[in-house]
Amino acid sequence: MKVLTPLELEETFRSWDAGYDLRVPIRLPDGTRAWGKIDEGPLALRGGPILAKPTAFFFPQSETELEYEETGKLRLPSPPSRPFLLVGLTAQDAESIAFVDEFFRANFQDDLYFRRREGAVIVVVWGRCGQNGELLRRAKQGCDLELVWDGERLLLIPRSERGWELYLAVRGGKEEEASPSLEEMEKEAACLMAADEELLRRSSALLLEDRIPDQFWEEVSKSCIACTACNLLCPTCTCFEVYDWKEENKVERRRLWDSCQLEGFAREASGHNPLGTEASRTRRRIHHKLGADAARWGRITCFLCGRCDVVCPTGLGIKALSREMVRRYGP
Ligand code: SF4
Ligand code: SF4
């Protein structure tokens, strides 16, 4: 690992910026954080999850799948000129991306996703750098390089072949074999999510055993205002719709993120809507990650990034609903 000063880190980012489409966490004028280019604002590495969908770099909200010209020519989108290098993801974000990779590779590979994802590098930030200095845990997968704040020093640790390539090109910094502070933080962080993971396991079991009555969903969903923020920020939400857009000399086939909290999400051409009530849509959003995906993939596909609980204006995030399910119907 390398120990870097803040200045060495910034120089490292600038050198990476030459070969990659680099995005780093920056501070916006209103005090919040966002992913931006290195000169778009002051670096803001500390603070935990950024309130934006981390998978959006590979699966943007709206994109053109193909263009069909009047002349009969079919045009496919060209790959990006430089691969992405994303700095500032949390462990949960990196693990979500690893799942979305698997999702978009299963059965039929989604080339639109992989033309951006292939060659991309993920740098996870962890250590004592969450909001108000709390500990962020280490990623189990999906991470190429780690940037760690141990409370006093910035450490850079390669985790994959791509990570090593970037690491070896870093100028400056002090090489160290190991750091006792890292081990301490890892041990401490191992217990961090245990209670929340157990909560999801218990609510998942209740859903799989069909122990949550419809009445529960009818009651809780009354407050949903269908703003769709829960879906639009969730790193593992992958639903999109496809439509054709006619221009003067061509037709563009586009895709656009969809939200299962919207009334038209599952409406069929006949008019029949299997998710015609807010209650069935709210149940579907939660059941998908904790029930259906648990059955399909053998694991829950909420990685507890925390965004839906933070952004839902009416308290219908996955943790809040899981807590309520376990409180009312748990053993
Ligand atoms: S906490 Fe919410 S937003 Fe984050 S992965 Fe789970 S369901 Fe998605
Ligand atoms: S964020 Fe909350 S209010 Fe908005 S659509 Fe999702 S559940 Fe409904």
DSSP-assigned states of every residue in 118-135: TT-EEEEEEES-SGGG--
Query: Distance from the CA of 3 to the center of ligand 1, in angstroms?
Result: 33
Three-state DSSP at 86 gives strand
Closest CA to 282 of 240, 230, 205: 230
Whose alpha carbon is nearest atom 8 of ligand 2?
A: 224
Q: Which residues contact 60 (CB under 8 A, 6 or more apart)?
A: none
More confident residue, 117 or 187: 117
Tokens of 80: 């990006």
Closest approach atom of ligand 1 to CA 307: 3
Structure confidence at residue 27 (pLDDT): 96
pLDDT tens figures, 262-311:
999 999 999 999 999 999 999 999 999 999 999 999 999 999 999 999 99
Say if residue 227 is exposed, middle or buried (CB neighbours under 10 Å; 0-12, 13-18, 19+).
middle
Residue closest via CA to ligand 1's atom 6 equals: 302
Residue nearest to atom 1 of ligand 2 (CA): 312
Q: Encoding tokens for residue 35? A: 């992913």
Average pLDDT over the chain, rounded to an integer: 95
Q: What is the pLDDT of residues 153-169, one digit of tens each?
A: 999 999 999 999 999 99
Please determine, for residue 178, whether its predicted confidence score (pLDDT) is greater than 80: no
Question: Using one digit for the tens of pLDDT, what is the confidence trace for 48-92?
Answer: 899 999 999 999 999 999 999 989 999 998 889 999 999 999 999
Pairing mode, strands 21-27 and 33-36: antiparallel
pLDDT bucket at 131, cuts 50 / 70 / 90: confident
Ligand 2: centre distance to CA 85 (Å): 31
For 115, half-sphere exposure in the C-beta direction (CA atoms, 13 angstrom radius) is: 13
CB-CB contact of 162 with 143 (8 Å): no
Say whether pLDDT at 114 is over 80.
Answer: yes
Q: Of ligand 1's atoms, which has the minimum distance to the CA of residue 306?
A: 1
Average pLDDT for 108-118: 95
The verdict on the CB of residue 307 being under 6 Å from ligand 1 is yes
Question: What is the rounded average pLDDT of the residues 171-180?
Answer: 85
Q: Band the pLDDT of 242: cuts 50, 70, 90.
A: very high
Q: What is the pLDDT of residue 220?
A: 98
Ligand 1 in reach of 321 Cβ (< 6 A): no
pTM for the model stands at 0.95
**Does residue 222 have its Cβ closer than 6 Å to ligand 2?**
no
Confidence check: pLDDT of 28 > 80:
yes
* CB contact at 8 A, 231 and 257: yes
Mean pLDDT of the region 195-218: 97
Question: Positive or negative, the Cα torsion across 11, 16, 19, 23?
Answer: negative
- Cα 331 from Cα 167, distance rounded (Å): 50
Residue 179's pLDDT is 79
% of the chain with per-residue pLDDT over 70? 100
Q: Residue type for 191, please?
A: C
Query: Which of ligand 2's atoms lies nearest the C-alpha of 311?
Result: 1
